[in-house]
A and B are shown apart, each in its own frame.
Chain A
């Protein structure tokens, strides 16, 4: 990769902020991983691939809500950004089936919405 200068930084900033793709973001700090985030991430990765979802899967750091780890943030289908807490492999399945595929939020798991 070539060397960055001020213009490249501005260009990357503009390009990255212009596109607002849908995403699933899994909190993958040490605290999240200890609570089972890696397993949850693997479920998403496998299912997205096998069922041809177009949604982007990414990792993020710790959002501070340690009591509700593993945390998964979902932005999909023009709905507000929803954070799910205490996500298990089963709940990860539900998030894909309900939220991502059918725009229905999963009950009893939402810890934040913005």
Chain B
């Protein structure tokens, strides 16, 4: 009978993978000690540790050794495995960096089975709230928890609820904003698909607290599986009386409908979202009046983000105080980030507020794929900004990111390495916002387009140094005069890259050079004659016949014909093609 499982993985960032070699040695050791029947040795694919050399994890004791050498095998078997003694010089005592609150059930429960949700404390919060709490007490508990909106702006949730509760008009509405549109952010989708009941429960608690009788899911149509799972969950809830009249034998009645977003980014903005639900064109209108006073169909409305609502049952189930223990003074709880880009382990991470950005990038996600340096991290999607490598020590919460000229946003985190061009990144986000601008107000419609034109010019090598001042001027007017968050924040990527990487902009303009080699128009491919072996590989592979010459005289690239596809550099075996 196997008593222990030993997992082995080489986590060193550089050098060849020695997992297999070490595994064989370890197995030999186990064989020598005649422990083959009791110990199972397994090569792991990943243990969640990076840059710790050879890691050995012993289960079920959950002992983790790091930087293990071949010479340590004997010691580990003799003391830890045979006598249960822990080797202090090898032990890795690292607290888990992730805390799962919003994602507590994701990947754990069956999203299509309500009983499984109930087994994981589902509807416990709701039954407590409906039968024992007054609405004021619910709002108080939220206040104690310090929960702030996870959709981007970070407005305290309890204040929203309180303002809506104070409105005299009836009926009131609850809207779940599931129109997740930031490029590279998908935490809401994950919760909608993995734990639909918790969002529904969160909405019900919100409805009880503010006195609403009707709720809406506003989900983007690009999430068909999310829509399907939410729809099935709602049907199930109606079947067992968790939605409808007199829920759980209380006086509370509530029902929820789904509305699909047709794919406009601006509909994630709350006033545009409500217009869309009302069947109007999805364009924003000025606030105030705020939705909590006059929202959907002119009635008081609370709009909360998916992740915010997923936190609510947790707070009411385990207490606002417990939630407030996680995080920093101004930002409580955890935040889910979708880490993507040039990162080794892309995916969702849920970390307590106030964790250093560095730990997310290196300790949880394992650094960049290429092993090159991180150049910058873009947070907050197209409304956010970049955080340069030198500031990776920043503690991630709402206020700190704002000080850095970025925002928390919905939690997208795009990692860039030294192969990424900052002007190109700014251009990408601006292009996104120009495409998504609804066109209602001039600063956003015209300003965005003008900035994009200038950026295009710069990346084509036609920029002028005065352009930088113009960029800043347009950005300020957009920030001050746009109608909604989309236009106000659209220039943020430009402002923040200009702030941290002005050098790179100047290089593009003055030296006509892109150091990352991204801006195609600024590149020149040349053949380094000293290294060229005249093999003719580039000559035969050039798709536009821009390379001329023969095997005696050597080869030359005709710049007027070259389309800078990079094929010649790719095929050259002697590194004789340079790209600058």
Residues of A within 8 A of B (CB): 1-6, 9, 12-13, 16-17, 25, 27, 29-31, 33, 58-68, 71, 73, 79-80, 85-86, 103-113
Given A107-B43, A110-B45, check contact A12 B7 (CB 8 Å): no
Interface size on B, residues (CB 8 A): 57
Do A66 and B347 touch (CB < 8 A)? yes
Contact with A along B119-130 (1 / 0, CB 8 A): 101011001000
**Please, which residues of chain B bring their CB within 8 A of the CB of A107?**
42-43
Do B345 and A67 touch (CB < 8 A)? yes
B123: nearest chain-A partner, CB-CB: A9
Do A62 and B106 touch (CB < 8 A)? yes
**Please, which residues of chain B bring their CB within 8 A of the CB of A61?**
105-107, 109, 111, 190-191, 193-195
Given A5-B248, A71-B107, check contact A109 B45 (CB 8 Å): yes
**Please, which residues of chain A bring their CB within 8 A of the CB of B348?**
62, 64, 66
**Please, which residues of chain B bring their CB within 8 A of the CB of A33?**
225
Residues of B within 8 A of A (CB): 2, 5, 7, 40, 42-48, 57, 59-60, 103, 105-113, 115-116, 118-119, 121, 123-124, 127, 131, 186, 189-191, 193-195, 223-226, 239-242, 248-249, 344-350
- Per the bound structure, the CA–CA distance linking A2 and B240 in Å amounts to 6
**Please, which residues of chain B bring their CB within 8 A of the CB of A2?**
240
- Per the bound structure, the CA–CA distance linking A43 and B124 in Å amounts to 36
Do A60 and B110 touch (CB < 8 A)? yes
- Per the bound structure, the CA–CA distance linking A73 and B59 in Å amounts to 16
**Please, which residues of chain A bring their CB within 8 A of the CB of B190?**
29, 31, 61-62, 64
Do B118 and A29 touch (CB < 8 A)? no
* A73–chain B nearest beta-carbon distance, Å: 8
**Please, which residues of chain A bring their CB within 8 A of the CB of B223?**
30
Do A9 and B110 touch (CB < 8 A)? no
Neighbour of A30 across the interface among B105, B189, B240, CB < 8 A: B189
Could you pull out 30 A-B pairs where Cβ atoms are within 8 angstroms? A4-B123, A6-B127, A9-B123, A9-B124, A9-B248, A16-B118, A30-B224, A60-B106, A60-B107, A60-B111, A61-B194, A61-B195, A62-B190, A64-B103, A64-B106, A64-B107, A64-B190, A64-B349, A66-B346, A66-B347, A67-B347, A68-B345, A80-B5, A85-B46, A103-B2, A105-B40, A110-B42, A110-B44, A113-B5, A113-B59
- Per the bound structure, the CA–CA distance linking A107 and B57 in Å amounts to 14
Which one of A1, A27, A64 has the highest number of Cβ atoms from chain B below 10 Å of its Cβ? A64
Given A67-B344, A103-B2, check contact A62 B107 (CB 8 Å): yes
**Please, which residues of chain B bring their CB within 8 A of the CB of A3?**
240-241
Given A6-B248, A62-B106, check contact A85 B45 (CB 8 Å): yes
**Please, which residues of chain A bring their CB within 8 A of the CB of B131?**
6
Do B5 and A105 touch (CB < 8 A)? yes
**Please, which residues of chain A bring their CB within 8 A of the CB of B193?**
29-30, 61-62
- Per the bound structure, the CA–CA distance linking A88 and B163 in Å amounts to 52
* B400–chain A nearest beta-carbon distance, Å: 23
Do B5 and A59 touch (CB < 8 A)? no
**Please, which residues of chain A bring their CB within 8 A of the CB of B115?**
12, 16
B110: nearest chain-A partner, CB-CB: A58
Do B45 and A68 touch (CB < 8 A)? yes
- Per the bound structure, the CA–CA distance linking A96 and B5 in Å amounts to 18
- Per the bound structure, the CA–CA distance linking A100 and B123 in Å amounts to 33
Do A16 and B7 touch (CB < 8 A)? no
**Please, which residues of chain B bring their CB within 8 A of the CB of A65?**
345, 347
**Please, which residues of chain B bring their CB within 8 A of the CB of A62?**
106-107, 190, 193-194, 348
Neighbour of B347 across the interface among A64, A80, A104, A112, CB < 8 A: A64
B19: nearest chain-A partner, CB-CB: A108
B246: nearest chain-A partner, CB-CB: A3
Do B240 and A16 touch (CB < 8 A)? no
A33: nearest chain-B partner, CB-CB: B225
* B173–chain A nearest beta-carbon distance, Å: 24
- Per the bound structure, the CA–CA distance linking A62 and B193 in Å amounts to 8
- Per the bound structure, the CA–CA distance linking A86 and B46 in Å amounts to 11
A14: nearest chain-B partner, CB-CB: B119
Given A80-B5, A103-B2, A110-B7, check contact A17 B119 (CB 8 Å): yes
A25: nearest chain-B partner, CB-CB: B110
* B35–chain A nearest beta-carbon distance, Å: 16
**Please, which residues of chain B bring their CB within 8 A of the CB of A63?**
106-108
- Per the bound structure, the CA–CA distance linking A63 and B193 in Å amounts to 11
- Per the bound structure, the CA–CA distance linking A106 and B226 in Å amounts to 32
B244: nearest chain-A partner, CB-CB: A3
A77: nearest chain-B partner, CB-CB: B2
Contacts A16-B119, A29-B193, A60-B107 aside, 14 further interface pairs with beta carbons under 8 A come to: A12-B115, A29-B225, A31-B190, A58-B113, A61-B190, A62-B106, A63-B107, A79-B2, A80-B60, A86-B45, A107-B42, A108-B43, A110-B43, A113-B5
Do B347 and A13 touch (CB < 8 A)? no
- Per the bound structure, the CA–CA distance linking A27 and B111 in Å amounts to 10
The 10 closest A-B pairs by CB, nearest first: A61-B194, A63-B107, A3-B241, A16-B119, A64-B348, A66-B347, A29-B193, A111-B46, A110-B44, A6-B127
* B102–chain A nearest beta-carbon distance, Å: 11
Do B239 and A1 touch (CB < 8 A)? yes
- Per the bound structure, the CA–CA distance linking A32 and B526 in Å amounts to 44
- Per the bound structure, the CA–CA distance linking A1 and B241 in Å amounts to 9
* A16–chain B nearest beta-carbon distance, Å: 3
- Per the bound structure, the CA–CA distance linking A108 and B46 in Å amounts to 8
Do A13 and B107 touch (CB < 8 A)? no
A103: nearest chain-B partner, CB-CB: B2
* A107–chain B nearest beta-carbon distance, Å: 4
Do A59 and B346 touch (CB < 8 A)? no
**Please, which residues of chain A bring their CB within 8 A of the CB of B344?**
67
B2: nearest chain-A partner, CB-CB: A103
Neighbour of B46 across the interface among A16, A58, A68, CB < 8 A: A68
